[in-house]
Amino acid sequence: MSENIVVLSPDKDIKINKWIVHKGSQVSNGSVLLLYHEVESEIIERLININCGIVKKLLHKEGSLVPKNSPLLEIAECLHTTILLDLCAECGADLQQIDMAKMSKASVPMIHSVPELKVSEELAKKLGRADTNRLLKDRKLALLVDLDQTIIHTTNDNVPNNLKDVYHFQLYGPNSPWFHVRLRPGTLNFLKAIEKYYELHICTFGARNYAHMICAFLDENGRLFSHRILSRDECLNATRKNDNLKALFPDEIGDAMVCIIDDREDVWNYAKNLIQVKPYHFFQTTGDINAPEGLTKRELDGEGVDFNKIVKLHNATKTNKVQTSPKTDDETKSNTTNEEAKTEVKEEETKNESKEDKTKKQLQKDGESNSIVDKEDADDNLVEVEDPDDYLLYLETILMKIHTRFYEQYDKTSEIPDLKKLIPQLKSEILIGVTIVFSGLVPNNAKLEYSRPYLVAKNMGANVSNSITDETTHLVAASTGTQKVFQAQKNKKIFIVTPEWLWTCAERWEHVEEKLFPLTSGRSHKMRQVPAHCSPERVNEEEQTVKFNNPFLQMSDDDIASMEAEVTDSSSDTDSDDEREDTPEIERIVRKRKRSEDRPSTSSKLVHTIDLSGGKKENEDNISQGGSSESEKSGKSSDSDTLVAKFRRGEKVSELESNDSSESSGEGEGEWNEMGAELERGFLDDED
C-alpha cells in the first residue's frame, strides 16, 4: 500500500495564483505544482515538487490565502511497480537518483525479449492471473519450445549451398560465420496444428539475434510466437532454463499449465512437466551448437547425412539426363519440319490481329517461359535429401493427449490440474498390465532396481521381474541364445523383443506393436544403453547420485561381456529341451553341429585336456603358449585333438587313444563322462 504525502506551503504566507496539477495527476521529482506570490509581494513564483506519485487531493482553491507551513495537497507516493532501465514507467523517476530506502520493488521480468522491463511481484501475480484466465477461456495450455535439435538442427560447418530446405544466414555482418539450419521434417505443419491448443513460447540457449532469425523462418507473420521468445541473453541462469519459469508465469498456480518440449532434461533440472523429445540430427559432425559451456551432449542421437555422397549422386543423375537428351538427325529434321508447318498455320490465323495484341501476347509468352525456365533451373540445382525422421507426428499425438486429459479433469472438478502431476500419470499408463524380464541389458553385478532400463519400464507402468514366471508377458533381450530366451520360447504367450521396442514405447508414449521388433539371430542388437531421450525421470539430486552416477550402470565392454556370459555351457547343454517342438529338423541338425564345433574352445577353458603323449596339461595357459612340444610336432592343437572333440565330429576314437587316456591320471575319466553326456544329448535330440 502506498502512503500519502502531505505537501506544505513555503515558510511564509502565500496566495495561490494557479494550480498546475489536478486530482489524479502523475507528478515526479522536479515538476511544478502551482504558481503563487507572497502576500506582501506581487512577484510570481513556482512551487517545485520533490516527491513522486499521484495527486490524491487539493486542499485549497485558486486565489486562497494560505498561511506558512500549511498543507497544500496530498500525494500518493509512487511505488515504481514498473521500471525500464532504472526509470519508473509510471512516474518517470530516475531510480538511480532516489534514496535506496525508496527503491522500487519491481523485480519480475514479464516480457520474454525485454528483460529490462520489470514489474513488482504483486503486479506480476495480477498479470499472471489474467493470463491464466485467458488460457482457460481459450481452452489452451502454454508450451515452451526448444529450438536446437528439437525442431531444427544448425551447424557452422561447410555444407553444400544447394541443399533443399536448408537455410543459410549470417548474424554479424559479411565477415561473420555462416549458419546453416535444417528444419525438422513436418515442423511447420506441427506448429500450425498445435497452436490451436497451446500458446507457443520459444526457449533457447541461442543468442537473441539467432533466436529471432530462426523464428523468422518458423513464423513469418509473427502469429505463432509473437514476442514470446526467450533467448540466452534473457536467461537468468547460464546453464538452467527453469529459473525463468517463475518470472514468465508468476500466477499462484505457477507453471501448472506449462508443458515443455526439449531434447535434453538437464537444462530444466529434470522437470516433471518436460517431454524429452528424440534429438534431431541432420548434420554429421555437429550436435547441440548452442549447448552451455560444460554441458555438451555426448549421447548417440543419430549419424547425420553424408552430403558428399548425395551431391555426387545428384551430379551423376544430372549428367545422365544431359547425355540422354540429344536427339538423332532424323528426329530433329522431322521436328523442324513440323514446327515450320505449325508456324505457317499460326501466321495465317493471326493476320487479322493488330500489332499491339501480337506484342502483348509475345511479351506474356516470353515472360512465362523465362519464369518456367528459371524455376526448373533452380529446382534442378537443389539437392533434395530424404529425411526419414517422423517424430513430430508422434509428438503431436502426445501433446493432444495431455491437452485432452487436462481439460477433462478441469471440466469435472473446476480446479486447475497440475501438469507436473498429470504428465507422469499419463506416461505411467503406457504399459499397464505388462510384465517385463530383461536379458543382456543389466550388468550381473548391478541391482535391477537401480538400472536405467528398469526405471524406463516402471515409469511407463510396467512390472519388472528378475526371472520368467507365469505372469511374464515380455522378454526384452539383447541377443539370442540366453537361458531366458530359451525359457521364454517355451511359452508362446511371451513376446520376445529387442531393446528397441522398449525405447520406442518410451519415445512415442504408446504400446508399440511387438511384431515390429522381433528378436532374431541374424540381427545385431547394440542398443543396450538407454537412449538419452528415453531416460527415466529424476526425483532429486540424492537419487540422481545413487541411481545414475553408480559406476555399475556405465555399460563398459567388461559389463557387456559379463552379460554375454549368460550363454553358458549349461544353456548349451539344455537348449535341446528349450527348443520349440515345431523347429524344423534341418535347423536342429545345423545348430547341433555348430555346438559341436564351438564347444571345444569353451570347454577347454573349463577342464583339463589330455595330451596324446600321455602327459596332462592345464587348459588356458598351456593352450595360449602352444601346449607341449609333441603336440606342436604333430601340427595339431591339443584342443582339437581331445577325445570329446573327435567324438563330436563323428570321428572314430582308436583303442590306442582310449588306452592312453585310461592309463593317464584320473582326469581322463572326465573326458569319457563328457562323451557319454554328449551321446545322451544326441539321443534326446533324436527323440524330440
Q: What is the 3-state secondary structure (H, E, C) of 21-60?
A: CCCCCEECCCCEEEEEEECCCCCCEEEECCCCEEEEEECC
pLDDT at 553 over 70: no
Q: What span, in angstroms and rounded, lies between the C-alpha atoms of 272 and 84?
A: 34
Other residues' Cβ atoms within 10 Å of the Cβ of residue 533: 21
pLDDT at 659 over 70: no
Beta bridge partners of 73: 7, 58
Beta bridge partners of 38: 14
- CA 392 remoteness from chain centre: 11
pLDDT band for position 259 (50/70/90)? very high
pLDDT at 366 over 60: no
Entry field: residues in the chain: 688
pLDDT greater at residue 287 or residue 115: 287
pLDDT (0 to 100) of residue 584: 47
- Lowest-confidence region among 33-42, 86-95, 450-459, 640-649: 640-649
pLDDT at 451 over 50: yes
Decide: 439 and 567 in contact? Cβ < 8 Å. no
Each residue of 460-473: pLDDT tens digit?
999 999 999 999 99
Mean pLDDT comparison of 95-99, 269-273, 343-347, 608-612, highest-scoring range? 269-273
pLDDT band for position 664 (50/70/90)? very low
pLDDT at 484 over 80: yes
> What nine digits make up the cell of 417?
490440474
- CA 665 remoteness from chain centre: 65
- Lowest-confidence region among 200-209, 376-385, 582-591: 582-591
Cβ partners under 8 Å of residue 600, min gap 6? 639, 640, 642, 644, 645, 648
Q: What span, in angstroms and rounded, lies between the C-alpha atoms of 613 and 526?
A: 45
pLDDT (0 to 100) of residue 53: 79
Q: What span, in angstroms and rounded, lies between the C-alpha atoms of 560 and 476?
A: 15
pLDDT (0 to 100) of residue 29: 75
Mean pLDDT within 345-356: 47
> What nine digits make up the cell of 103?
527503491
- 177-188 exposure pattern, b = at least 16 Cβ within 10 A, e = fewer: eebbbbbbbbbb
Dihedral sign (CA 149, 154, 158, 164): positive
The C-alpha angle 187, 189, 192, rounded to 5 degrees, equals 105
pLDDT at 327 over 90: no
pLDDT band for position 252 (50/70/90)? confident
Dihedral sign (CA 103, 109, 115, 118): negative
pLDDT at 140 over 50: yes
Query: What share of the chain in percent tops pLDDT 90?
Result: 32
Residue written as grid cell 539371430: 521
pLDDT (0 to 100) of residue 95: 66
Query: What share of the chain in percent tops pLDDT 70?
Result: 58
Decide: 421 and 406 in contact? Cβ < 8 Å. no
pLDDT (0 to 100) of residue 657: 47
Mean pLDDT comparison of 21-30, 632-641, 679-688, highest-scoring range? 21-30
> What nine digits make up the cell of 546?
545413487
pLDDT (0 to 100) of residue 291: 86
Burial class (CB in 10 A: 0-12, 13-18, 19+), 628: middle
Mean pLDDT within 39-52: 84
pLDDT (0 to 100) of residue 443: 85
Of 172, 159, 424, which is closest to residue 306 (Cα–Cα)? 159
Each residue of 82-99: pLDDT tens digit?
776 667 766 666 666 655
Q: What span, in angstroms and rounded, lies between the C-alpha atoms of 153 and 147?
A: 8
Beta bridge partners of 27: 53
The C-alpha angle 177, 179, 185, rounded to 5 degrees, equals 170
pLDDT at 352 over 60: no
Mean pLDDT comparison of 277-291, 387-401, 587-601, highest-scoring range? 387-401
- Lowest-confidence region among 48-52, 486-490, 667-671: 667-671
> What nine digits make up the cell of 520?
532374431
* Helix 187-194 and helix 391-413, axial crossing angle in degrees, nearest 10: 10
Q: What span, in angstroms and rounded, lies between the C-alpha atoms of 177 and 156?
A: 7
Decide: 85 and 60 in contact? Cβ < 8 Å. no
- SS3 for 607-672 is CCEECCCCCEECCHHHHHHCCCHHHHHHCCCCCCCCHHHHHHHCCCCCHHHHHHHHHCCCCHHHHH
Each residue of 160-207: pLDDT tens digit?
888 888 999 999 888 899 999 999 999 999 999 999 999 999 999 999
- Residue 155 phi/psi, 5° resolution? -145, 160
pLDDT greater at residue 408 or residue 617: 408
Mean pLDDT within 514-520: 92
Collapsing DSSP states into helix, strand and coil, what is residue 77? strand
pLDDT band for position 103 (50/70/90)? low
Q: What span, in angstroms and rounded, lies between the C-alpha atoms of 619 and 131?
A: 77
